[in-house]
Amino acid sequence: MTEQIGVLGGGSWGTALGVLLANKGYDVTMWLREKSQVEEINETRINNKYLPDVVLPPNLKITNDLEYSIYKKNALILAMSTHGIRDVLTKAHNHVKANQIIVNVSKGIESDTLLRISQVVEEFLPENSYVVLSGPSHAEEVAKNMPTTVVSASRDKKSAEYIQDLFFTSNFRVYTNPDVIGVELGGALKNIIALGAGISDGLNYGDNTKAALMTRGMIEMARLGEKMGANINTFSGLSGMGDLIVTCTSMHSRNRRAGILIGQGIKVDDAIKKIGMVVEGIKTTKSAYNLAKKHNIEMPITSEIYGVLYEGKDVKNAVLNLMVRDKKNELEDIIKEENNSW
């Protein structure tokens, strides 16, 4: 029997994954909030707002009926922005059966609670298997069938492998990983560093500056991850270093593009409006800043970006603060050996 998949969220990433799964022959239903957008897509077969260059396959159904998008599905993909997940789960959880696998593809940390998405899902669906799918994967490229590699992480090996098989194609390679915490944090925290990389570009700084931000940013990501229970080696993989590279260097990245505007002197709210889509890194910066204080660890790049976004700090002063910090030995940050299996 053909696999039945529900995609909750019709942004660029949800649409791209819906296209990928439908092209594999699965029965895919994508849910969107706005009835007018559903009607437009069903009429044109194009998600003009998010992926205007991609024609949707006929077996990708579009609906704004949430219950219908959940009914009898083997897996449910959470593809909305992080701050919208709790609201959707509040409305959806009574319709979800315990045998349905929940797959999160958003990349963020809940602002008010500082919870990872797996923790939010567990509040509503404690009996369901949970998988996070993450890695260096721009929706625009996946929808055009360009070679891409991601990671499927779950505490349950069978669920991780099921999602690996579900998404695997000759152009979409999927690895598995038992480290849900590390994969979730890698996907979320790299957006902060991408904002910094964009700010650097907006200031017309060069490759040296961006390389320093990315390298030291990775140390911050791993430092917080280790404190929160992640396997530190995960940050050297696809959901860590891989996603960091693609998000800091590509103009597909909303976070980098927003950072460029901020570096050019545009106010944060105006930068978000110009991007026209959710910029996850802005809220994640606040979450990570508060998590660093909660766990009593240093995250200087995150702290300076927080100052720029939320305290009106001058971007050049923020860079100067990073450069004149107390001198340190690079090897004070130790990468440790960890167990890598379930």
| Main-chain dihedrals φ then ψ at residue 298, nearest 5 degrees | -85, 130
Whether residue 272 is predicted with pLDDT greater than 60 in this model: the reply is: yes
Q: Which residues pair with 62 in a beta bridge?
A: 30
CATH dotted code for 181-332: 1.10.1040.10
Kindly list the domain boundaries of the chain, sorted by start residue.
4-178, 181-332
Average pLDDT of span 226-244: 96
Mean pLDDT of 294-312: 96
Confidence band (pLDDT; 50, 70, 90) for 329?
A: confident
What's the whole-number mean pLDDT along residues 241-262? Answer: 96
The β-bridge partners of 77 are: 7, 103
**In 10 A of CB 262, how many CB atoms?**
25
Render pLDDT for 112-126 as a digit per residue (tens, 0 to 9).
999 999 999 999 999
Q: Is the pLDDT of residue 252 over 60?
A: yes
Give percent of the chain with pLDDT exceeding 70: 96
Query: How far lies 314's CA from each of 179, 241, 285, in Å?
Result: 37, 28, 17
126-136 burial: b if 16+ Cβ within 10 Å, else e: eebbbbbbbbb
What is the arithmetic mean of pLDDT over 161-176? Answer: 98
Structure tokens at 6: 């529900």
Residue-by-residue DSSP string for 37-84: HHHHHHHHSEETTTEEEEEPPTTEEEES-HHHHHTT-SEEEE-S-HHH
What kind of fold does domain 4-178 have according to CATH? Rossmann fold (3.40.50)
Active site (catalytic) residues:
190
Q: How many CB atoms lie within 10 A of CB 182?
A: 31
